[in-house]
Amino acid sequence: MFYDIGSILTRSVDKFGSRPMLSWHGRTMTYNEVYEQATRFGSGLLARGLAPGSRLMLSMRNSPEYVIAIFGASLVDITPVPVNRRYALRDIRHIVNDTAAPAALIDVDGPFADLVDDEALNVDWIMAGERGSNKSTFEDVLRAGASTQLPQLFLPDEAESAIHFTSGTTSLPKGVIRSHVSNASMALGCNEANRVDGDTTWLVALPMHSSGVHGFILGALMVGGRFVLCDYDESTLGQVIDEYQITHAAMGPTMYRAAATSLRKANLSTLRRALSGGMTNSEATLRYMEDVLPVPVLGSFGMTEATMVTFSTDEVYASGRVGSSGYPTSMMQVRVVDPSGNDRPPGEFGQLLLRGATCFTEYLNLPGRTAETLIDGWLHTGDRAYLDVDGAVTVSGRLGEMIVSGNENISPAEVEETIARLVGVQDVAVVGVPSEKWGREVRAFVVAEDAGVTEAAVQEFCRQHIARYKVPKRVVFIDELPKDNLGKVQRRKLTEIDA
């Protein structure tokens, strides 16, 4: 089997050409139509002077143009570099320099439009949307290209397929190089675990810079399914699922809960699978959704370096392991080890290690960091997890987020899960803050639905359910937790709040 993304697209077009491939804001494109524009875009990039083996930065809202650009670039061996639209300008400058990308496709009204006149960056800026400057547009690239079928490249499985950037809390974003085989394996594993077939319609509401989104899209493509693109909007999510008869959805657990009002009003009878990921799966949130959705929200686990590693099942959920991330796909192996690298027995926490076809190749221009992360073939995730006897994985936050208070280790995820069960709590995040007495102490930030939820009530509830040293010393009430556009809490911003 050839795993390169261009070959997968070409083969799927041959099989499913007249079927609908993607929908967006009432517009639907068939496999043939997407392929025709992708070939035009790819050959248009070559006509503009981009060479095979170069890179194209992408920073856009979810749209057909985004999909066409990814596949068009892949067809001519140009590596897509999807970038978070919420990055700071200093991050974008770093990514341009780090990747040496000679061109970038961005929204004409996006946050990075101010960079297009910066000659120091030496980038060919291509604008998606209405012509708003003297720069070229997406349509200009299409016109420069040809609609004739491009020669199939049959790239090596390990060739560079995409570069996704992942952020640290203080450092600049790191480029994660993923190969064609890692992306194809990600899609195959997702299809296998979630019974994806030709009747599947994926909802793509997560931003397309997320590596996991590419797995949903590529997986649907392999079997003749369809995907619907939208920008997440909690007020209309139910309407989109209803209108397009969505069968599969994936987003952060709090994104489901925030959209509960919209979901309750909609006909969700076509929904067969609802996945959550991107963070620790909150049992309280997932239980809450049982009365909203016709199917349980099943946990999954992945990271930019190894996307779509595990998926839960209806059986795991029904057994009471609601927050479980489930079993590894057939493409992957998992271990949980202690600090010395010895395997932990079932039920005991340690660091989660991964090995398999879905893992990334290396960090871009960071050989030292790559060597620290990939050791003897195992990807050291830095995530705190345990295995069940049957091999299911439960992930409980990052090891680096562990709060050491008075020589005791405290998991923020455990405290968060406890507080989330208190009636009237809508959302919660826990961080460690400096303490003269304890070194670090626990502080909880709570979004309350009920005015009766007080600091004293939260602390007393915690005393009833967890060890006293884990009880938050302070409970701060805020209107909304700071999150990125994947729904992950930005804990660093919480530690900066003067409370």
Q: For residue 116, give the CATH number of its domain.
A: 3.40.50.980
Considering the entire predicted model, what is its pTM? 0.87
Q: For residue 465, give the CATH number of its domain.
A: 3.30.300.30
Last residue of a domain, one of 138, 155, 172: 155
Average pLDDT over residues 298-323: 94
Considering the domain boundaries, does residue 37 fall inside one? yes
Within 13 Å, how many C-alpha atoms sit on residue 407's CB side? 0
**Which of these, 211, 174, 177, lies nearest to 382 by C-alpha position?**
174
Please tell me whether residues 333 and 414 are part of one structural domain: no
Distance CA 138, CA 342 (A): 53
Q: What is the pLDDT of residue 438?
A: 85
Please tell me whether residues 307 and 198 are part of one structural domain: yes
Please tell me whether residues 273 and 415 are part of one structural domain: no
The pLDDT tens digits of the residues spanning 164-223 come to 998 754 478 999 999 999 999 999 999 999 999 999 999 999 999 999 999 999 999 999
Considering the domain boundaries, does residue 304 fall inside one? yes
Considering the domain boundaries, does residue 76 fall inside one? yes
Please tell me whether residues 99 and 224 are part of one structural domain: no
Please tell me whether residues 21 and 132 are part of one structural domain: yes
Please tell me whether residues 358 and 460 are part of one structural domain: no
Considering the domain boundaries, does residue 83 fall inside one? yes
Distance CA 202, CA 217 (A): 8
Phi-psi region of 487 (alpha: psi -120 to 50; beta: other; left: phi over 0): left
Domain count for the chain: 3
pLDDT band at 105 (very low <50, low <70, confident <90, very high): very high
User: Do 356 and 331 contact (CB within 8 A), yes or no?
Assistant: yes
Considering the domain boundaries, does residue 165 fall inside one? no
pLDDT band at 396 (very low <50, low <70, confident <90, very high): confident
Considering the domain boundaries, does residue 172 fall inside one? no
Please tell me whether residues 226 and 368 are part of one structural domain: yes
Please tell me whether residues 111 and 221 are part of one structural domain: no
Torsions phi, psi for 275 (to 5 deg): -110, 150
| Residue 465, burial from CB neighbour count under 10 angstroms (0-12, 13-18, 19+) | middle
Considering the domain boundaries, does residue 345 fall inside one? yes
The pLDDT tens digits of the residues spanning 314-362 come to 999 999 999 899 999 999 999 999 999 999 999 999 999 999 999 999 9
Q: Can you give the residue range of the structural domain that contains 410?
A: 402-495
Last residue of a domain, one of 367, 399, 431: 399
Please tell me whether residues 131 and 190 are part of one structural domain: no
The pLDDT tens digits of the residues spanning 208-223 come to 999 999 999 999 999 9
Q: Where are the beta strands (DSSP E) in 123-281?
A: 124-128, 136-137, 160-166, 174-179, 201-204, 226-229, 248-251, 273-276
Percent of the chain at pLDDT > 70 equals 96
Task: Kindly tell me the number of DSSP H helices and DSSP E strands found in the chain.
Answer: 16, 27
The pLDDT tens digits of the residues spanning 426-463 come to 999 999 998 888 888 999 999 998 888 999 999 999 99
Q: What is the pLDDT of residue 464?
A: 94
Alpha-carbon distances of 425 from 129, 285, 445, rounded to whole Å: 41, 10, 11
Q: What is the pLDDT of residue 169?
A: 47
Please tell me whether residues 87 and 187 are part of one structural domain: no
Q: What is the pLDDT of residue 115?
A: 85
Within 13 Å, how many C-alpha atoms sit on residue 57's CB side? 30
Considering the domain boundaries, does residue 164 fall inside one? no
Please tell me whether residues 419 and 395 are part of one structural domain: no
Q: What single-letter DSSP state applies at residue 340?
A: T
Task: Name the one residue in this structure whose structure tokens are 């208070």.
Answer: 405
Q: What is the pLDDT of residue 51?
A: 96
Distance CA 291, CA 464 (A): 27
The pLDDT tens digits of the residues spanning 234-291 come to 999 999 999 999 999 999 888 898 899 999 999 999 999 999 976 666 777 888 899 9
User: DSSP labels for 5-63?
Assistant: HHHHHHHHHHHHTTSEEEEETTEEEEHHHHHHHHHHHHHHHHHTT--TT-EEEEE--S-
Please tell me whether residues 198 and 339 are part of one structural domain: yes
